[in-house]
Structure 1
């Protein structure tokens, strides 16, 4: 199948219904509705009350599908919080030229859209989750690559791109950004590869009754350098919650330096974005980095 023909514009409720009729007729009559804010890399749909359907939205995200289908069932038993459970592995077909998945529905609201009762507790529990994830068996697991958007890889592969991105800030900010990037490149990862989530954001944390209930979207997960999982410190956490996360994550100064590199790259990528809120979010990330927090 030509996975280069995967197109987000063609993914809708009608397509999901056709795929279910074709491959999972037992679920063909369940109601289907799109999940609002369901992510950029994949399109997600609620399927009845207990299931969801997840399809890659572009060719570059196709490699994430089989990775999640293979590794989420192996990781779930060792992790302290629920993660998505695979109920069906959709195959490429004439209707949709890429693999896709049926998952169990995890109830809750994303941490970006609902109130959190105790941010410090959430930060500590998230750090604990990632520490346990780092300790999971890596035998046969995928190293960094296209499937992880190169999360977990050395930062060197972003160096050419960063040269252009630094032009998006001026004067003393450019100098500080260049210094952060030099420090990140110098802080080499020399330990054994470990599991990382790859996209630790409040969009991927589910909250129920004000508390952390599940971690979702392992599309960028893999085995390598876990520094990318520090970025939430500059994107969303603050104050005592930030301190709890730093303490609980238990990584060395070099990992935090590389994490600043990942956060800087993210901030500079988004600083000129047009969609509402994205440039403001990027400005917040850069301000946090430049403040040295």
Structure 2
């Protein structure tokens, strides 16, 4: 268990220059990290499970290079902590980013927000990718897991419609152009907002280069049909990439729904919406 006492001890032991700063746990946090605010200017993030390890080093290596070229703020890594005191993985310290997580109610139908997010992805995709992390798992690599999830949710959703969409996504023409940068987990929960505007994009653990369809979860997690159309037009997404993007939105939401919906009403609502919007297209 990652307690505030453990985080305090790790910080004080490895970064004594911050030992005098107050530390408080941030809730709600995501499913991948426990987050604490350290003083007014810093955030401490510790992975909860093996699937989240490696993010600290990746962000430290890449975000300082990418950030100056992006139109929305991203985390500014400060340091990477090492395994210690029984905690088994590397962990991160970054500059604190003010803001609240974006909501569908506030931003879902906002065309300016949709356009701004598309412009963020376009800027990311244009950046040189020399040495970029690999593209990660493919849609086909998630086929068995996704079809099993479809079977499990057949009493909640239209399983036949889910199967048709998933089959179309897996069978869609593959990305046949040079790989481009992608965020890798681009959905509503990784947007911060201040003053009615998106202020930051966070959580770059999935950062890599490959098929940009993986970043098309956002139109289905956040947007309405109207704002989604503006997003697609601004980014210039072709039909095959859009279908693969619907597949990524579907598989991400299904896996999260089957893992967490029974115990977390917030995740249940968010993933239900994402599944329904992916079916709409």
| TM-score for the superposition, normalised by structure 2 | 0.90
Q: Which moved more, 1:264-273 or 1:166-175?
A: 166-175
Gapped regions of structure 2 (runs ≥ 5): none
Q: CA deviation at 1:208?
A: 1.1
Match of 1:205 among 186, 191, 204: 191
Two-structure CA RMSD over aligned residues (Å)? 2.2
Once the two structures are superposed, the pairs formed by residues 71-220 of structure 1 within 5 Å of their partners are: 71-112=62-103, 115-116=106-107, 119-145=110-136, 150=137, 154-167=138-151, 168-169=153-154, 173-187=158-172, 188-220=174-206
Q: CA deviation at 1:115?
A: 4.0
Q: CA deviation at 1:172?
A: 9.6
Gapped regions of structure 1 (runs ≥ 5): 1-8
CA distance in structure 2 between the partners assigned to 1:249 and 1:85 by the alignment? 26
Task: Give the corresponding residue for 2:237.
Answer: 251
Task: Give the corresponding residue for 1:57.
Answer: 48
Contact 1:91 1:99 in 2 (8 A): yes
Task: Give the corresponding residue for 2:273.
Answer: 284
CA distance in structure 2 between the partners assigned to 1:289 and 1:113 by the alignment? 15
Task: Give the corresponding residue for 1:237.
Answer: 223
SS of residue matched to 2:198: strand
SS of residue matched to 1:139: coil
| TM-score for the superposition, normalised by structure 1 | 0.87
CA distance in structure 2 between the partners assigned to 1:35 and 1:189 by the alignment? 39
Q: CA deviation at 1:256?
A: 0.6
Name the count of aligned residue pairs: 276
Task: Give the corresponding residue for 2:207.
Answer: 221
